[in-house]
Amino acid sequence: MNIRTEHLAAIQGLGYDSHESQFLYLVATHSGYFTVQQFLDFTQQPKGRPVHRFTQKLIQRRHARVTECARKTHVLNLFSRRVYGPIDKDNLRNRRRQSKELVQTRLLILDLVLAHSGERYLEPEADKVSYFHDVLGLPLQALPGRIYKGIKPNRSTKRHFIDRFPMLLLDAQNALSLPPVVTLTYCDAVRPSLAQYVTHLRSYEKFLRRLPGFNFVYASPNASKFARAAAFFSRLFGDSGPIDAHHLVRYFQLRLLWETNRAGTLTRADRDFLRAGDKQYDGEPFESAFQKWASEGLTDTDIDALLGPRRSQQTKNFRTYVLPHEHNIFETFAD
């Protein structure tokens, strides 16, 4: 659990014991919402007076608000700046009221984090950007994100990794038994459709292809979707076989003509070939190969040597994980 000592002390200073403070840190960082059962799971204690005292402290001190949902389940939203501010997370959207669908996803995320609280996480946006940009050398424009327009004209801000699914940096010995590379996750509800998962993975595709290696964990309380989720991942990131260097060079030639304002020399067949190539050779390692070919005039043999090792070096691992709770409790939840 990568909680800084001063952050844990700051929450304890609000009147919470060590276990309560660790739990509140994880809630503030990863979800903003939790149930009493999740607190019991984390502290491994039975229902009774201690958990009642904990929730009453949160509510009476106005650190959290509570909503009663279906099946008499209470969902608490940790919202107070007095909690988030001292741990440098005052700008997280976890504090805010969310839709019931997003609250359900946040609860699933917390389940995953609580089950692997001993692992190291990339937590705030700044840490994620720093790791991928400064450590791995990816350009900022390659990181998944969304542009938000500011109040003032011509002012905008790009926020990265806005989905907030947990991202782990695993050690060689880890509970998931995965290689020690960056591990991305997706937490899916019990709905039968995979549409949101498919959209998410496609939005991350170009970014993931630029990583030297990664693990991807698909987590859901509904194991019946695991086979379909794995099949889509395999179709998207499976080995597409050897690259025809001659075909690739032809694409490079046509692309160079297009990008140097000589498109008038292209026939209709050339344009069709170029459009197909834009899809087939999108992202890395093809982008770097094109830039090197355009500047150095690589031969087919040079391109084979350049692409072969880089395509085989990327480690991709897909893993499924069964979450303990469905959190299908929002029939009476008020937005």
DSSP line for 229-297: HHHHHHHHHS------HHHHHHHHHHHHHHHTT-GGG--HHHHHHHHHHHHHT-STTHHHHHHHHHHH-
Q: Kindly report, residue by residue over 28-71, the tens digit of the pLDDT.
A: 999 999 999 999 999 998 888 889 999 999 999 999 999 888 87
Domain ranges of the chain: 5-97, 125-240+316-322, 245-310
Structure tokens at 218: 């698909």
Position 307 scores a pLDDT of 67
5-97 — its CATH code? 1.10.10.10
Integer Cα distance of 106 and 130 in angstroms: 24
**Residue 335: per-residue pLDDT:** 47
User: Are the CB atoms for 282 and 236 separated by under 8 Å?
Assistant: no
Closest listed residue to residue 56, CA positions, set 33, 29, 36: 36
> Which residue ranges in the chain fall short of pLDDT 50?
309-310, 312, 334-335
Count the neighbouring beta carbons within 10 Å of the beta carbon of residue 132.
Answer: 24
Q: Is 325:221 a contact under the CB 8 Å cutoff? A: yes
**3-class secondary structure, 194:** coil
